Structure 1
Amino acid sequence: MANINPGDVILVTGASGAIGFEIAAQAAEAGAIVAVHGSSARSAASAIARLAARVPQAQLIPAPADFRDDGAIEAMIAGVVDRTARLDAVIHCGITGAPGATGFLAKADPSALASHVALVLGTFQRLSLAALPHLSERGGTIIAFASDAGRFAAPRQSVVGAAFGGIMAFVRNLAMETSRKGVRVHCISPSFVADTPVFKMHAARAGAAFDRAGLGLPTPADIAPMALFLCGPGAARITGQIISINGGLNA
């Protein structure tokens, strides 16, 4: 059973993806009211249909938003609060980057560098800013998802690592700003996650990582309980933490 209060309103961005979907499902199983984000009304509706099939008793609210559109994040938050009159947690799995920003810096598209940081870090900053007034009303939680590329150096990660490192620094500093308002802020930082499209897309590198991870690479089902624990009363005195879930790939 997840460590959350039944009836809590939890917004999960990127709920159509593997990790976001699993978090939303486990939250619904624990009795939370889950606001299900997708980048379009269609993707949010599709995720809700899948969630309802898995958790027939689920209380689900569509929360579509294209984070590239001005005002979309703010409208999404306002829509959720209008429906529920509260917001207890935001779990941000909906990371959107810029094409041409991954890989070696020497091969990156110069025009993508600033936009990548704006999409990865800036989106989370805007999401936090929009959610904070509502989370502050009764004490809530913000959780970002990043990547161990922001913690551990490796080739092909200079651009993405900088953006994820920015999220981690932002989380730690924001946690210090919001603790007296009862709002906790964390970052969960996986590396390769099995049973996801990215894992399959980078099969060769993922296979090497699998061989190095002494505990085995995590799946979304391994990651979701940590996200929900951090949102619950058992984590009431914890904030500002960057938590790697990587099966021992790095430490």
Structure 2
Amino acid sequence: MTDRPRTILVTGAASGIGAACCRALAGPGIAILVHTRKNAEGAARTAEAVRAAGGLAEVALGDIADPALPAALVAQAQARFGGLDVVVANAGFADRTPVAALTDAGFAQSMDTVLWAFLRLARAALPVLAAGDAPRLIAISSFVAHVFRTDATLFPATAAAKAGVEALVRALAVEAASSGTTVNAVAPGFTQKDAAGHSAMTPAQWDAVRSRIPLGRLGTPADVAQAVAFLASPGAAYITGQVLHVNGGLV
């Protein structure tokens, strides 16, 4: 234990699940590095919410697909707050392009932003986390790596990238175990966006999605964030190498 704040890095935290994670994790004695690619205004709102809850916050900008950025984020957290205890790897995007239309460049973009970014972030963070307090590495995966049906929208490139993230989570959990660092993933189901709405599908399509979810509703960013907060907590010290599905029973 140290006198410094428990320090958390959340990528892709200007809105949605990342911002909700920051709000769920915020509080006195907590410092959060709020990362976003370019939505500085949204990240500033997230940081202000962290401060309003009694924590410390700083904003970091940059494309997570840049090979140099993950290590730079880890270094920024160390320099600003004195260490690093929790990393939530949330930054990414969803690509619905069918395989037949998927270009090499399009596939590579998903891999760079999701899979390679997580690998680089883990490599940079784990040595620092090993010296942290109740160290945790948490990846945000997705139901798209698990649900493949004729009546469901497919996300081939995203599914491949997220499945790779989950495989890395399991391998990293074994490698990091000796330091007491846990490595897990949270896989959200259909999750509503912020107030901007659901532009990816029509209202009728969203109604059809809801009919397939046993709990009868879309998830919220807060639903996902509560699972992340649990895995980040001292109470989750004996959970590692797992994928926690937050999907309302979706199969």
Query: Which TM-score band (shorter chain)?
Result: 0.7 to 0.9
Pair 1:93–1:30, CA change in 2 (3 A): farther
Alignment of 1:244 with 2:209, yes or no, is no
Task: Classify 1:163/1:200 alpha carbon distance in 2 versus 1 (closer, same or farther; 3 Å).
Answer: same
Q: Contact conserved, 1:12 with 1:90, CA < 8 A, in 2?
A: yes
CA distance in 2, matches of 1:25, 1:107: 38
Q: What is the 5 A alignment of 1:113-192?
A: 113-138=107-132, 139-154=134-149, 156-192=154-190
Q: Percent identity?
A: 32
Q: Is residue 141–residue 185 contact of structure 1 (8 Å, CA) maintained in 2?
A: yes
Whether the 8 Å CA contact 1:48–1:60 is kept in 2: the answer is no
Contact 2:64 2:117 in 1 (8 A): yes
Q: Is the 8 A contact 2:169 2:184 kept in 1?
A: yes
2:59 to 57, 62, 71: 62
Match of 2:36 in 1: 38
Say which SS state the counterpart of residue 249 (structure 1) adopts.
coil
Deviations 1:95-151 (A, max 9, x none): 146xxx533211222332233223210000001111111101134111111111112
* Aligned equivalents of 1:31, 1:214: Cα separation in 2: 38
Q: Provide structure 1 residue ranges, at least 5 long, that are not aligned to the other structure.
A: 1-5
Instruction: Please tell me whether the aligned partners of residues 5 and 81 of structure 2 are also in contact (alpha carbons under 8 angstroms).
Output: no
Residues 192 and 206, structure 1, Cα contact 8 Å, conserved in 2: no
- Give the stretch that moved more between structures: 126-135 or 205-214: 205-214
Decide which of 103, 107, 119 is 2:101's aligned counterpart: 107
Q: 1:29 to 1:207 in 2, by over 3 A?
A: farther
Q: TM-score, normalised by structure 2?
A: 0.87
Q: Find the counterpart in structure 2 of residue 3 from structure 1.
A: none
Distance 1:54 1:60, change over 3 A: closer
Confirm or deny: 8 A CA contact 1:16 1:44 kept in the other structure.
yes
* 1:221 and 2:216 matched: no
Equivalent-residue separation in structure 2 for 1:123 and 1:135 (angstroms): 17
Aligned to 2:200: 201
Matched pairs, number: 240
Match of 2:44 among 42, 48, 51: 48
2: CA distance between counterparts of 1:165 and 1:118? 14
CA contact (8 A) 1:189 1:245 kept: yes
Could you tell me whether the CA contact under 8 Å between 2:15 and 2:46 is conserved in 1? no
Cα contact 2:145–2:158 (8 A) shared by 1: yes
Q: Can you list the C-alpha shifts for 1:50-100, whole angstroms capped at 9, x where unaligned?
A: 442575233112222222334122112101101111101000111146xxx
What's 1:76 paired with? 73
Q: Distance in 2 between matches of 1:47 and 1:35?
A: 10
User: 4+ runs of 1 displaced by more than 4 Å?
Assistant: none
- In the alignment, is the contact (CA less than 8 A) between 1:187 and 1:242 conserved in 2? yes
User: 1:214 Cα shift?
Assistant: 1.7
Q: Displacement, 1:39?
A: 1.1
Distance 1:199 1:171, change over 3 A: farther
The whole-number CA distance in structure 1 between the counterparts of 2:50 and 2:59 is 16
Tell me which residue corresponds to 1:28.
26
CA–CA separation in structure 1 for the residues paired with 2:34 and 2:143: 26
Unaligned runs of 5+ in 2: none
